[in-house]
Amino acid sequence: MSEAGPLLLDARGLRKQYDTREGARITALEEVSVSLADGEFVSVVGPSGCGKSTMMKLIAGIVKPSAGEIIYRGQVVTRAQRGMGVVFQSPVLLPWLTVLENVLVPIRVLRMDRAPASARARELLELVGLTGFESKYPSELSGGMQQRVGIVRSLIHDPGLLLMDEPFGALDALTRERMSLALQRIWLANRKTVFFITHSILEAVFLSDRVIVMSARPGRILQEFTIPFPRPRDFDLTSTAEFGDFAREIRHLLGASVDV
């Protein structure tokens, strides 16, 4: 039921090679093309090291592709775009700032109004279960809590495109489910476009309009799946036969290299 809106982002023929310290050159990503429609939720699953984070950084405009180009809202991306929010694989919180100040970093950098942003920050912190932690420092938080602060930070400036690199990777199973539901709620309320990287096939199928399955390094796209279930979805869906079919097919495609 991906009511495909107009094209928001179109990445064509992306390739990325890294020069390692030893002087060797490795190809992280080979000939990858993805397009994201406005308001679409797209997940990427693939074995560790296949270039998922690399793909996200290319889209975010913080790593330059070795070949290929990315077109965002009709323009070629050569640097980071202010309309994007990024959740990194590690929380990347600044230890000298409180939780609230960390969340407000994009507001400071983008010189946006602080007062409404603070109110919004409190709302979002509540949504991820972190009320009362506003003035704590990151070192006083668990890894999972830090990651949730990172998620709130990515949302604070209301970006049109959300890039999330295994945002729930550090969370326990229960919090993970809760966060998936929260993300779905945020997405349904704002219809942002989400590019979501995960190791969890279940999470990918549950959340997405479309799931992209990648091969081991050098990363290529093996197959794309369109997930038709209507929204809002709840976790009962995951025990239905149709859901199981998708999950099984993706798992077979990936082989045994991914833990679910």
Ligand X SMILES: Nc1ncnc2c1ncn2[C@@H]1O[C@H](COP(=O)(O)OP(=O)(O)OP(=O)(O)O)[C@@H](O)[C@H]1O
Judged by beta carbon distances under 5 to 8 A according to partner kind, the member of another protein, ligand X, Mg ion, none in contact with residue 54 is ligand X
Binding of ligand X by 53 (CB under 6 A) = yes
Looking up tokens 């406005």, which residue turns up?
Answer: 38
Name the strand (E) or helix (H) holding 146: helix 143-155
**Do residues 194 and 42 lie in contact, with contact meaning Cβ atoms separated by under 8 Å?**
yes
- Under rule CB under 6 A, residue 50 binds ligand X: yes
User: What count of residues does the chain have?
Assistant: 260
Binding mask 70-99 for Mg ion (x = CB under 5 A): -------------------x----------
Residue 54 sits in the site that holds ligand X (CB under 6 A): yes
**Region binding ligand X by CB under 6 A among candidate stretches 49-57, 98-106, 111-119, 228-236:** 49-57
Q: Which stretch binds another protein (CB under 8 A): 42-50, 80-88, 221-229, 235-243?
A: 80-88
Cα torsion at 33, 35, 41, 42 (round to 10°)? -10
d(CA 140, CA 258): 32
Examine residue 88 and tell whether it contacts another protein (CB under 8 A).
Answer: yes
Q: Does 60 bind ligand X (CB under 6 A)?
A: no
Q: Is residue 89 involved in binding ligand X (CB under 6 A)?
A: yes
Strand locations in the chain (E): 7-19, 25-37, 41-45, 67-72, 75-76, 84-87, 161-165, 193-197, 210-214, 221-226
Binders in 95-114 for another protein, by CB under 8 A: 95-96, 105-106, 108-110
